[in-house]
């Protein structure tokens, strides 16, 4: 008689890999029966956080960043210049003083207040303000106040007459003069190589006020100020002054101050001639926020950082 075939034994289940979860219950009992204690699997105590234990060829995962290593003030712009250095180079103060200004929240970069020291900026493009006043940080940008004397034409070059360019010879910058004064008028002219600033200062839409002192011949009527503010009709249209005051008068000679934001050619002389008070001498004493003060004719001086900030503010830069 044929003997029945013996049933094959079922395959033992493969032990589960322990990659951090430990051995299965059956595997643990088998190990205990043999008297050998299994070593603790990797991935428990002593394992590095964020790294899976190596078991059965399991590929380790990348380490997760630790929140304690996160720097909210880190700036990826390693190509820039540290803000405190830029402030110091702009003449705001020493680096230590600049750091104190930053910590106090008095420095603004591109419209945002900065309070940390690690920020880097591009001095050529960043708009930086201290206490709300913009500072000039672009390399090579210059701003000057010049007291133009009588007899000098308001141009950077002229083949036949004395001109502004003669007073800045030897400088590497290409300077622009802001506004014009006729050849018989002396006083304040601004020179800069910031083309956008020069354009805005001269554009009538920004209404930059200029102050003049004029020596006139004649008796000043009591209502002259009112008439000038209401407007004087000239051949090229109505011309108004913003402010008028009498400074001094002796007989038929008077010294008056006129504030006006118009920039038409010889506008002050033409207005005063129209009201019967011809001008014998004219000096521009103020251009926007910049004053001539006691600056002598033919003298060129750089604007200080407060004056530069005031000029930028006047034209919305």
Please tell me what DSSP assigns to residue 167.
G
Q: Is 223 labeled as catalytic in the residue annotation?
A: no
DSSP state of 2: P
Query: In this structure, are residues 290 and 303 in contact, taking their beta carbons and an 8 Å threshold?
Result: yes
Beta carbons of 141 and 195 less than 8 angstroms apart: no
Q: Is 277 left (phi over 0), alpha (psi -120 to 50) or beta?
A: beta
Q: Are strands 186-192 and 279-287 parallel, antiparallel or unpaired?
A: parallel
SS3 265: coil
Distance separating alpha carbons of residues 99 and 83, to the nearest angstrom: 9
Segments of the chain assigned E as strands: 81-82, 107-109, 112-114, 120-121, 128-130, 133-134, 143-148, 176-178, 186-192, 210-217, 232-234, 237-239, 243-250, 253-260, 279-287, 290-291, 300-302
Task: Exactly one of 75, 158, 182, 242 is catalytic; name it.
Answer: 182
The residues assigned a catalytic role are 182
């Amino acid at each position: 008689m044929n003997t029945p075939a013996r049933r094959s034994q079922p395959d033992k289940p493969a032990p589960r890999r322990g990659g951090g979860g430990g051995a299965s219950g059956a595997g643990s009992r088998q190990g205990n029966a043999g008297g050998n204690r299994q070593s603790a699997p990797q991935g428990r105590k002593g394992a590095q956080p964020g790294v899976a234990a190596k078991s059965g060829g399991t590929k380790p995962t990348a380490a997760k960043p630790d929140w304690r290593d996160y720097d909210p003030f880190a700036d990826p712009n390693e190509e820039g210049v540290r803000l405190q250095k830029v402030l110091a180079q702009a003449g705001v103060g020493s680096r230590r003083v600049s750091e104190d200004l930053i910590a106090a929240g008095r420095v603004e970069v591109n419209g945002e207040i900065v309070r940390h020291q690690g920020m880097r900026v591009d001095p050529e493009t960043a708009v930086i303000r201290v206490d709300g006043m913009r500072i000039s940080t672009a390399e090579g940008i210059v701003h000057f106040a010049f007291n133009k004397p009588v007899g000098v034409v308001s141009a950077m070059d002229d083949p036949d007459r004395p001109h502004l360019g003669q007073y800045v010879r030897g400088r590497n910058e290409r300077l622009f003069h802001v506004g014009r004064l006729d050849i018989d008028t002396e006083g304040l002219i601004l020179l800069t190589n910031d083309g956008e600033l020069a354009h805005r200062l001269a554009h009538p839409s920004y209404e930059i006020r200029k102050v003049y002192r004029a020596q006139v011949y004649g008796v000043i009527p009591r209502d002259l100020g009112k008439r000038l503010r209401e407007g004087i009709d000239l051949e090229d249209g109505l011309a108004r002054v913003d402010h008028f005051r009498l400074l001094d008068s002796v007989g038929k000679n008077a010294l008056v101050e006129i504030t006006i934001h118009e920039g038409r050619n010889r506008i002050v002389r033409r207005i005063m001639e129209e009201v019967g008070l011809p001008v014998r001498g004219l000096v521009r004493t103020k251009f926007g926020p910049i004053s001539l003060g006691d600056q002598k004719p033919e003298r060129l001086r750089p604007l200080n950082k407060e004056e530069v900030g005031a000029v930028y503010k006047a034209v919305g830069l």
